[in-house]
Structure 1
Amino acid sequence: MSVQFFSGSSRHGGRIKLPMSYRRTAKWLPQIGDIFPDFTTRSTKGKIDFHEWAEGSWVVLFSHPAAFTPVCTTEIAGFALAEPDFQQRNTKLISMSRSALHVQKHWLKDIESLFGIQVGFPMLEDETGHFSKTFGMIHPHENDQHSIRKTFIIDPALKVRMIMEYPLFVGRGTDEILRVIDALQVQDEFSVGVGGDWQKGSQCLALPGSMQALSEAGHKLTSYRYYLTTVDLNTEPPEDEG
């Protein structure tokens, strides 16, 4: 079987060759830095007008393939168990799938009975797949009907700050999502960088434009290279004299 390819080259001669079947008309998909679009749909908690519901809080909007499936069941339970941790970070949870609302409501009762928990966050209905396709949650080469496990972290100004994608049969880890929210909130508060494998309370990375302000605020800076300086945000600022 022969496969047709189309190719393109970069400015400096690098080339890419892809199957013709991958070629498609460019369309908008949410990217980091975009304002997440407003939309209205039904949920297990009633009608949701997304911007009105979300504005002023951090939001984790996550898709999953379908109700009454094993991986999705563990994810909903995991998010429900961790919901107090998200609330401590001023973060709301909201899920989306193509399962009909009445099916999701029956599934929700089963999850609560199975795990002995209450699911406090709304679960959105997208039975036609319109929202899932618009938001890039449907990946045809993974599954052309059900959404992948896509996660958007959205800030209180409704801006997309992080996008994560998992395949159908690999569940997300709530600890990593919480870690990312901690990192984004620290970054916003102190204008610092956050290194690989960073955990809340660990040292951060000083950026050139923020070093003086961090130093004046009493935070300890340690320089290892001209491009690498750590900052301890746990340093107690000096007391005012007098």
Structure 2
Amino acid sequence: MEQTQTISLPRIGERAPEFKAKTTHGEISNHDYDGQWYILFSHPSDFTPVCTSEFVSFQKIYPELKEMGIELLGLSIDSVSSHIAWIRNIEEKLDTKIEFPIIADLNKEVAAKYGMVMPESNNTETSRAVFVIDDKQMIRSIIYYPLTIGRNMREIMRLVHALKTSDEHGVSTPADWSPGDKVIAPPPKTKEGAEERLNSKDYECVDWYYCKKDIDE
């Protein structure tokens, strides 16, 4: 009987797998990002239309990410030469200069560590995966998209804003939250705290366990 290979995928809350790889900016390791947040994302292949549209959009949000202290790092199993030719083509045809590095993961070493190649798939290209990794090298979020669907950059930006807001203020964010919206306060731990919360003008409460508030800037 044929045995199915078990692949251990990284999970939210775990330490990001270590790597050292060749990129369009030279050799890079995950330790080059120690003390800094970064987004590691994979794309199926160079010179493909959906990936090209994504790279243009990733570049558009890159300046805002950098202002937030977040770096961007792409990956596919294409060669450095292919990456260079492709980003030159993007600059020529779409008037967009790709400023962030792209890993050339020819041996799929990084892709395997991060679970970027689906084991059930007959394809060899990497999926559209997004890993948000914090300044302590911990995985904070993972998103996968199918090969035919381009990523939503507004959602990625919303996500990193929410993660940073949650860390800074010790709060959660509700569904469809955007920067500037009210956040969810941690539930009170005592009956007295619940009563106090409900009677406070600083909170907008549905009930004692579900209260929103503005962030103190």
TM-score w.r.t. the length of structure 1 is: 0.80
**Counterparts of 1:210 and 1:231, CA distance in 2:** 17
CA distance in 2, matches of 1:210, 1:119: 49
Relative distance call for 1:176 and 1:123 in structure 2 (3 A) is same
Instruction: Specify the code of the residue in structure 2 equivalent to 1:190.
Output: H
Following superposition, the deviation at residue 72 of structure 1 comes to 0.6
Where does residue 41 of structure 2 map in the other structure? 62
Is 1:103 the equivalent of 2:85?
no
Secondary structure, aligned partner of 1:208? coil
Distance 1:24 1:231 in 2: 49
SS of alignment partner, residue 36 of structure 1: coil
Conserved? CA contact 1:44–1:122, under 8 Å? yes
With a CA cutoff of 8 Å and minimum separation of 6, indicate the structure with the bigger relative contact order: 2
Is 1:47 matched up with 2:27? yes
Measure, in 1, the Cα distance between the counterparts of 2:19 and 2:91.
28
Are the counterparts in 2 of residues 192 and 210 from structure 1 also a CA contact under 8 Å? no
Q: Does 1:166 align with 2:148?
A: no
CA contact (8 A) 1:75 1:172 kept: yes
CA distance in 2 between counterparts of 1:66 and 1:143 reads 15
1:138 and 1:58 map into 2 onto residues whose CA distance is 24
The aligned runs of 1:188-199 (5 Å cut-off) are 188-199=167-178
- The answer to whether residue 123 in structure 2 is matched with residue 144 in structure 1 is yes
- Structure 2 letter corresponding to 1:232: D
Identical-residue share of aligned pairs (%): 31
- In structure 2, how many angstroms separate the alpha carbons of the residues matched to 1:126 and 1:210? 49
Is residue 75 of structure 1 aligned with residue 54 of structure 2? yes
Tell me the SS of whatever aligns to 1:47: strand
- Matched residue count: 210
Segments of 5+ residues of structure 1 without an aligned counterpart are: 1-19, 237-242
Q: Matches of residues 109-148 of structure 1 in structure 2 within 5 Å?
A: 109-148=88-127
The one of 15, 25, 38 aligned to 1:35:
15
**1:50 is matched by which residue type in structure 2?**
N
CA contact (8 A) 1:220 1:233 kept: no
- Alignment partner of 2:51: what SS? helix
Contact 2:18 2:29 in 1 (8 A): yes
Distance 1:219 1:134, change over 3 A: farther
Distance change >3 Å, CA 142–CA 209, structure 1 → 2: farther
Q: Secondary structure at the match of 1:120?
A: coil
Cα–Cα, structure 1 residues 209 and 121, in superposed 2: closer, same or farther, change >3 Å? farther
Specify the SS of the correspondent of 1:139: coil
Q: 1:32 to 1:111 in 2, by over 3 A?
A: same
- The gaps in structure 2 that reach 5 residues or longer are none
Which amino acid in 1 is paired with 2:13?
A: G
Amino acid at match of 1:35: R
In the alignment, which residue of structure 2 is the partner of 1:228? Answer: 210
Structure with the greater alpha carbon radius of gyration: 1
The residue type equivalent to 1:126 in the other structure is D
- CA gap of 1:181–1:219, structure 2 versus 1, over 3 A, is farther
CA contact (8 A) 2:24 2:80 kept: yes
Q: TM-score scaled by structure 2?
A: 0.89
Distance 1:121 1:129 in 2: 20
